[in-house]
Structure 1
Amino acid sequence: MSQPDIAPPMRRPRDTKIDAFRGLLLVMIFIDHVPGNWYENLTLRNLGFSDAAESFFLMSGIAAGLAYTAGLTRARDVGLWAGIAPIWKRAWVLYLSHIFLTVAGIAIFAFSAEFFGLTGLLAKNNLRQVFENTGPAIIGIVTLGHQIGYVNILPAYSVLLLAAPFAILVGRRRPYILLTVSVLLWFFIGLFRLNIPAYPNSGGWFFNPLAWQLIFVIGLLTGMALRDGKRFIPKSRVLFVVAVGWLVFVLAWRYVPGWGATLNHGMAKLSSLGLPFHFTSHDKAFLPLLRLLHVLALAYVMSYLPFVTRISAHPYAEPLRVMGRQGLLVFSAGALMSLAGQAALVYFKGVTIVPWLLVPIGVLALWGLAWIGDWKRRT
Structure 2
Amino acid sequence: MNDQTATIIPPVRVKAPRDPRLDVFRGLCLVMIFINHVPGNAFENYTSRNFGFSDAAEGFVLMSGIAAGLAYSLDFKAPMRLWSGFGRVWKRVWTLYMVHILTTMAAIAAASAVAVFLGNAEVLFLNQMKYLFIDPLRTFVGLTILTHQFGYVNILPLYLVLLAVAPLLLMAAWRKPLWLMAGSVMLWAVAGQWHLGMPNYPTPGNWFFNPLTWQLIFVTGLLTGVAMKDGRRFVPVRLWLQVLTGGFVLFAAVATQVQPVSEAMGHALWMLQDALGFPWFLTAFEKSYVTAPRLLHILALAYFLSSFPAVRRACGSVFGKPFELLGRQALPVFALGSVLCIGFQGVKHALGDSVALDAGLLAVGLAAQFALAAARQYWPKSPS
Q: Which residue of 1 aligns with 2:5?
A: none
Contact 2:122 2:346 in 1 (8 A): no
Contact 2:37 2:152 in 1 (8 A): yes
Q: Which residue of 1 aligns with 2:58?
A: 54
Within the candidate set 327, 331, 337, 1:324 is matched to 327
The offset of 1:193, in angstroms, is 0.9
Query: How many residues are aligned here?
Result: 370
Q: Which residue of 2 aligns with 1:344?
A: 347
Measured in 2, the distance between the counterparts of 1:55 and 1:128 equals 30
Contact 2:110 2:342 in 1 (8 A): yes
Q: Which residue of 1 aligns with 2:86?
A: 84
Measured in 2, the distance between the counterparts of 1:80 and 1:93 equals 20
| Deviation per residue, 1:38-71 (Å, 9 max, x gap) | 2212211011110000000100000000000112
The offset of 1:142, in angstroms, is 0.8
| Deviation per residue, 1:254-278 (Å, 9 max, x gap) | 2223221232123223222432211
Structure 2 counterpart of 1:233, one-letter code: V
Measured in 2, the distance between the counterparts of 1:307 and 1:373 equals 29
- Say whether 1:73 aligns with 2:77: yes
Contact 1:75 1:82 in 2 (8 A): no
Measured in 2, the distance between the counterparts of 1:170 and 1:351 equals 52
Structure 1 counterpart of 2:44, one-letter code: E
The offset of 1:145, in angstroms, is 0.8
- Say whether 1:226 aligns with 2:241: no
**Percent of counterpart pairs with the same letter?**
42
Greater radius of gyration (CA): 2
Measured in 1, the distance between the counterparts of 2:197 and 2:304 equals 32
Structure 1 counterpart of 2:366, one-letter code: V
The offset of 1:289, in angstroms, is 0.5
Q: Which moved more, 1:53-62 or 1:312-321?
A: 312-321
Measured in 2, the distance between the counterparts of 1:224 and 1:376 equals 31
Contact 2:86 2:167 in 1 (8 A): yes
Q: Which residue of 1 aligns with 2:143?
A: 141
Contact 1:122 1:131 in 2 (8 A): no
CA RMSD of aligned residues (A): 1.7
Helix, strand or coil at the partner of 1:50: coil
Measured in 1, the distance between the counterparts of 2:350 and 2:174 equals 53
The offset of 1:34, in angstroms, is 0.7
Contact 2:114 2:346 in 1 (8 A): yes
Q: Which residue of 1 aligns with 2:6?
A: none
Measured in 1, the distance between the counterparts of 2:84 and 2:366 equals 37
Q: Which residue of 2 aligns with 1:6?
A: none
Within the candidate set 46, 64, 67, 2:68 is matched to 64
Matches within 5 A, 1:25-40: 25-40=29-44
Structure 2 counterpart of 1:278, one-letter code: F
Q: Which residue of 2 aligns with 1:214?
A: 216
Measured in 2, the distance between the counterparts of 1:142 and 1:252 equals 43
- Say whether 1:374 aligns with 2:372: no
The offset of 1:378, in angstroms, is 6.0
Q: Normalising by structure 2, what TM-score? A: 0.93
The offset of 1:209, in angstroms, is 0.4
- Say whether 1:112 aligns with 2:150: no
The offset of 1:350, in angstroms, is 4.0
Q: Which residue of 1 aligns with 2:124?
A: 122
Q: Which residue of 1 aligns with 2:198?
A: 196
| Deviation per residue, 1:1-46 (Å, 9 max, x gap) | xxxxxxxx76443221111111111111111111122221221101
Contact 1:97 1:332 in 2 (8 A): yes
Q: Which residue of 1 aligns with 2:169?
A: 167
Structure 2 counterpart of 1:176, one-letter code: L
Matches within 5 A, 1:247-286: 247-273=249-275, 274-286=277-289
Measured in 1, the distance between the counterparts of 2:163 and 2:69 equals 11
| Deviation per residue, 1:234-267 (Å, 9 max, x gap) | 0000000001111122122222232212321232
Q: Structure 1 residues 188, 150: CA separation in 2 closer, same or farther (over 3 Å shift)?
A: same
Q: Which residue of 2 aligns with 1:365?
A: 368
Structure 1 counterpart of 2:70, one-letter code: L
Measured in 1, the distance between the counterparts of 2:50 and 2:341 equals 20
Structure 2 residues without counterparts, runs of 5 or longer: 1-12
Q: Structure 1 residues 160, 350: CA separation in 2 closer, same or farther (over 3 Å shift)?
A: closer
Structure 1 residues without counterparts, runs of 5 or longer: 1-8
Measured in 2, the distance between the counterparts of 1:352 and 1:328 equals 29
Q: Which residue of 2 aligns with 1:297?
A: 300
Contact 1:198 1:204 in 2 (8 A): yes
Helix, strand or coil at the partner of 1:285: coil
The offset of 1:351, in angstroms, is 4.4
Measured in 1, the distance between the counterparts of 2:161 and 2:380 equals 27
Measured in 2, the distance between the counterparts of 1:53 and 1:351 equals 26
Contact 1:48 1:254 in 2 (8 A): yes
Structure 2 counterpart of 1:95, one-letter code: Y
Measured in 2, the distance between the counterparts of 1:367 and 1:122 equals 27
| Deviation per residue, 1:354-377 (Å, 9 max, x gap) | 101211222122111101101147
| Deviation per residue, 1:68-122 (Å, 9 max, x gap) | 011222432xx42101111111111111111111111112112222332212212
Q: Structure 1 residues 202, 220: CA separation in 2 closer, same or farther (over 3 Å shift)?
A: same
Measured in 1, the distance between the counterparts of 2:157 and 2:14 equals 32
Measured in 1, the distance between the counterparts of 2:15 and 2:42 equals 42
Contact 1:146 1:200 in 2 (8 A): yes
Q: Normalising by structure 1, what TM-score? A: 0.94
